[in-house]
């Protein structure tokens, strides 16, 4: 998915205080780019991901996400964009504890597809992330890496063209982290756009571009990527 942000700002009101989080952000990436974003805690990385998933709207500027003009789009258009085009992967996995692995993966499809279709698709994705043998297990029976692999399968269930990852390896040891990166590389293959927020500078060697957020602005650090 092609993404273009122009002159984008975002602030939050906290009591009487206005917190300016993002300030005149400008960038564009082509479809199939893997972009890493780093920056200090509280610098606005998650806020930027929330604009890129159209959960939140910018105060001003232009936010174009594939065919969606996120500033002009109404609530239903933005919801449909999230459902059909975006996969979100979180640091804390966010699996439903009361459902088994397979059900967790197929949940986003259930309102729209027959159960059988959802089951088959979930099985294929679980196979891809090496979790098919655990499909009847509950999240509490899984390691962190296994939970994240399940969450990735769930994020892929609607064939998203954009995958947003918020510290996806933040809770994992190095071996599990590397497994997750390998899966992301397999998904990416220069077709799916990946935007990965991380504190782990080691991860910035993967991908096509690296931006750092500082004082609400984006600094292009791509040059340091070892290919």
Ligand X SMILES: Nc1ncnc2c1ncn2[C@@H]1O[C@H](COP(=O)(O)OP(=O)(O)OP(=O)(O)O)[C@@H](O)[C@H]1O
State the residues that interact with ligand X by CB under 6 A. 12, 14, 19, 21, 39, 41-47
Is the separation of the CB atoms in 131 and 143 below 8 Å?
no
Minimum CB–partner distance for residue 109 and ligand X (Å): 29
Pair of tokens at residue 146: 């296994």
User: What are the backbone dihedrals phi and psi of residue 121, each rounded to the nearest 5 degrees, phi first?
Assistant: -65, -40
What are the φ/ψ torsions at residue 63 (nearest 5 degrees)? -125, 105
- Residue among 45 and 149 whose Cβ is closer to ligand X: 45
Bridge partners (DSSP) of residue 90 are 166
- Of the pair 49, 192, the CB lying nearest ligand X is at 49
- The single residue listed with the structure tokens 């609400």 is 216
Tokens of 58: 């910018």
Task: For the CB of residue 213, give the shortest distance to ligand X in the complex, in Å.
Answer: 7
By beta-carbon proximity to ligand X, the closer residue of 22 and 209 is 22
The residue (of 23 and 46) whose beta carbon lies closer to ligand X is 46
Quote the longest CA-to-CA distance of the chain.
53
Distance of CA 73 to the CA centre of its chain: 20
Task: With both helix axes pointing from N to C terminus, report the angle between 144-155 and 115-128 in degrees, rounded to the nearest 10.
Answer: 130
Token pair in block for residue 164 = 């947003």
What 3-state DSSP class applies to 117? helix
Burial class (CB in 10 A: 0-12, 13-18, 19+), 70: buried
Nearer to ligand X, 41 or 224 (CB): 41
Residue closer to ligand X (CB basis): 41 or 74? 41
DSSP classification of residue 207: S
Q: Closest approach of Cβ 94 to ligand X, in Å? A: 15
């Amino acid at each position: 998915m092609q993404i273009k942000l122009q002159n984008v700002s975002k602030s939050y009101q906290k009591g009487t205080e206005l917190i300016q989080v993002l300030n005149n952000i400008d960038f564009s990436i082509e479809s199939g780019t893997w972009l890493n974003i780093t920056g200090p805690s509280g610098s606005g990385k998650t806020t930027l991901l929330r604009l890129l998933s159209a959960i939140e709207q910018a105060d001003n500027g232009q936010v174009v996400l594939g065919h969606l003009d996120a500033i002009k789009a109404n609530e239903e258009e933005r919801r449909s964009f999230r459902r059909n085009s975006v996969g979100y992967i979180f640091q804390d996995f966010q699996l439903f504890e009361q459902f088994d692995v397979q059900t967790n993966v197929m949940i986003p499809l259930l309102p729209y597809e027959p159960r059988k279709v959802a089951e088959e698709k979930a099985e294929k994705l679980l196979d891809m992330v090496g979790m098919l043998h655990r499909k009847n297990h509950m999240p509490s029976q899984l390691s962190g890496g296994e939970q994240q692999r399940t969450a990735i399968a769930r994020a892929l269930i609607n064939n998203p063209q954009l995958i947003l990852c918020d510290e996806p390896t933040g809770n994992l040891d190095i071996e599990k982290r590397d497994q997750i990166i390998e899966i992301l590389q397999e998904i990416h293959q220069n077709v799916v756009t990946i935007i990965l927020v991380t504190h782990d500078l080691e991860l910035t060697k993967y991908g096509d571009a690296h931006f750092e957020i500082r004082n609400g602005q984006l600094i292009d650090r791509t040059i340091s990527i070892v290919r």
